[in-house]
Amino acid sequence: MERATQVIGQSGAFLDALERASRAAALDRPVLVIGERGTGKELVAERLHRLSPRWDQPLIIMNCAALPETLIEAELFGHESGAFTGATKARAGRFEEAHRGTLFLDELGTLSMAAQDRLLRAVEYGEVTRIGSSRPLHVDVRIVAATNEHLPDKVDKGTFRADLLDRLSFEVVTLPPLRARRGDIEVLADFFGRRMASEIGLADWPGWGPNALDALMTYDWPGNVRELRNVVERAVYRWEREGPVDSIEIDPFKSPFRPRTAVPASAAPVAATPAAPVVEEPAPVSFDGGTDFKSRVCAFEKQLLSRALAEHRYNQRSTAEALGLTYDQLRHALKRHELLGAGG
């Protein structure tokens, strides 16, 4: 299985996580990869497989959240013909497909307790039993699992088996989010930008302009590397001017024509004339706040910021654009006037 996406980064936190994964790869033990969405958990799982003695055997990937609970066990362990409605022929499960190789279980935290029970036996004894069969099959599989949840909390709540977590957490690799490795943002943006420029036939990669770089570096990237890649590729293919790419659109859904959320007919109030939504009006800007010039300017600035925040529904990025400030400038002003938590 070849990947078009590479593991890229040079920050200390990211390199430490890769080093831990690389060291664990040679050992035939389970590894748990923890990280937010878009941090590259599947790429690290592939790295673990490629650097292991099982590199020439299958790497089987299963997203535990992609299937309904009723089919998870059949997918993992297989089934015999006639085991349930629709099972017209026998089928090997992912454990059998991964025999002598690696099984990557993504979104591990979504497994039902019943599936966890059977998974524990498979991990502990190397045996699986197809649904509808009484004959166990021996499998030699190395487990790599991933989740974006804190599994010890799920153990405390009784929704994840403590013994299964103990068995799978021989080594735990926690991937840092992109906001914790800001030094990698420009490196990644350059890589994705060059690749997109080549894909659309640009002869030369023009690089990034200062406005684009400022937008890339000040955003928090909740979707991490995956979100960054989408934003970068969209910016490159939309850029139709000469020189460096200098326009970034973080939110592709932002539009003055965005459709309003429809209210279901059953939930809509019965009235001859629907009432207009009530919007709290911000207080008008005034010069009150002191007698000396400095105090009055400070009070005016605070009221101006408060009003702008309210008008933009406390979206700081939109407020900054409306006031002609950078995101960082607005944040400094809000902090100075103790307004960072406004609207929260």
pLDDT value of position 1: 41
Using the predicted structure, report yes or no on whether residue 118 has a pLDDT greater than 50: yes
pLDDT value of position 84: 74
pLDDT value of position 139: 93
Q: What is the mean pLDDT of residues 239-248?
A: 90
Phi, psi of 26 (to 5 degrees): -75, -20
Confirm whether 148 is domain-assigned: yes
Last residue of one domain, picked from the residues 131, 158, 176? 176
Residues 183 and 171 in one domain: no
Residues 51 and 25 in one domain: yes
pLDDT value of position 263: 55
pLDDT value of position 280: 46
The CATH number linked to 314 is 1.10.10
Last residue of one domain, picked from the residues 176, 200, 220? 176
The 8-class DSSP code of residue 31 comes to E
The 8-class DSSP code of residue 110 comes to G
CB 60 within 8 A of CB 97: yes
Using the predicted structure, report yes or no on whether residue 315 has a pLDDT greater than 80: yes
pLDDT band (50, 70, 90) for residue 273: very low
Helical (H) or strand (E) element with 153:
helix 151-157
pLDDT value of position 54: 96
pLDDT value of position 298: 82
Of 202 and 69, which is predicted with more confidence?
202
Q: What is the mean pLDDT of residues 234-254?
A: 91
pLDDT value of position 267: 54
Q: What is the pLDDT of residues 43-73, one digit of tens each?
A: 999 999 999 999 999 999 999 998 887 788 8
Q: Which of 159, 70, 140, 67 has its CA nearest to residue 106?
A: 67
Residues 61 and 132 in one domain: yes
The CATH number linked to 160 is 3.40.50.300
Q: Please provide the average confidence, as pLDDT, over all residues in the chain.
A: 86
Confirm whether 243 is domain-assigned: no
Using the predicted structure, report yes or no on whether residue 274 has a pLDDT greater than 80: no
Using the predicted structure, report yes or no on whether residue 153 has a pLDDT greater than 70: yes
Confirm whether 41 is domain-assigned: yes
Q: Which amino acid is at 116?
A: Q
In the chain, the percentage of residues whose pLDDT exceeds 90 is 55
Using the predicted structure, report yes or no on whether residue 296 has a pLDDT greater than 90: no
Residues 137 and 30 in one domain: yes
Residues 225 and 300 in one domain: no
Q: Model pTM greater than 0.85?
A: no
pLDDT value of position 310: 82
Q: What is the mean pLDDT of residues 152-179?
A: 96
Using the predicted structure, report yes or no on whether residue 219 has a pLDDT greater than 80: yes
Residues 106 and 226 in one domain: no
Using the predicted structure, report yes or no on whether residue 17 has a pLDDT greater than 90: yes
- Reduced to 3 states (helix: H, G, I; strand: E, B; else coil), residue 71 is helix
The CATH number linked to 206 is 1.10.8.60
Domain range enclosing 68:
12-82+90-176
Using the predicted structure, report yes or no on whether residue 149 has a pLDDT greater than 90: yes
pLDDT value of position 93: 87
Domains: count for the chain: 3
Q: Which residues contact 219 (CB under 8 A, 6 or more apart)?
A: 250, 327
Using the predicted structure, report yes or no on whether residue 202 has a pLDDT greater than 70: yes
Residues 159 and 184 in one domain: no
Q: Hey, CA dihedral for 288, 292, 297, 302, is it positive or negative?
A: negative
Q: Give Dmax (Cα) for the chain.
A: 89
Residues 48 and 105 in one domain: yes
- Reduced to 3 states (helix: H, G, I; strand: E, B; else coil), residue 217 is helix
pLDDT band (50, 70, 90) for residue 281: very low
Using the predicted structure, report yes or no on whether residue 276 has a pLDDT greater than 60: no
Q: What is the mean pLDDT of residues 10-30?
A: 94
